């Protein structure tokens, strides 16, 4: 199985689009997954932000996450496959900047 999550839009303070592609054996798209998104700042005491990625085409999931402050973030895609298996992917953003 292959998983790839990337930012579709330039990462800056505000709404950011995240796309995840799930591929199974022989590069077949994995459909029917549930993907929740979580953004955490590296600064102590900051609460996380949450979003959800919806399936927009077979094996492709797109969602928005509001990264509301400048600084360092870790964005995690929490994935539950249609068979119940789970996996996570982290994406690190250093020095998120304002527009």
Number of structural domains in the chain: 1
Per-residue pLDDT tens digits for 23-71: 988 889 999 999 999 999 987 788 999 999 999 999 999 999 999 999 9
Q: pLDDT-derived band of residue 9, with 50, 70 and 90 as boundaries?
A: confident
**Cα separation of 20 and 18, whole Å?**
7
Contact 52, 38 (CB under 8 A): no
Q: pTM for the full model?
A: 0.90
pLDDT score recorded for residue 42: 85
Contact 55, 34 (CB under 8 A): no
> What's the CATH number where 70 sits?
2.60.40.1080
Contact 98, 12 (CB under 8 A): yes
**Cα separation of 80 and 5, whole Å?**
14
For residue 25, the enclosing domain spans 2-96
């Amino acid at each position: 199985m292959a998983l790839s999550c990337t930012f579709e839009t330039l990462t800056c303070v505000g709404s950011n689009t995240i796309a995840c592609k799930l591929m199974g054996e022989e590069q077949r798209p994995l459909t029917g997954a549930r993907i929740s998104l979580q953004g955490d700042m590296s600064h102590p005491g900051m609460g996380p932000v949450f979003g959800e990625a919806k399936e927009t085409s077979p094996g492709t999931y797109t969602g928005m996450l509001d990264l509301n402050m400048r600084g360092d973030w870790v964005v995690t895609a929490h994935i539950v496959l249609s068979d119940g298996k789970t996996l996570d992917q982290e994406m690190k953003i250093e020095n998120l900047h304002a527009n």
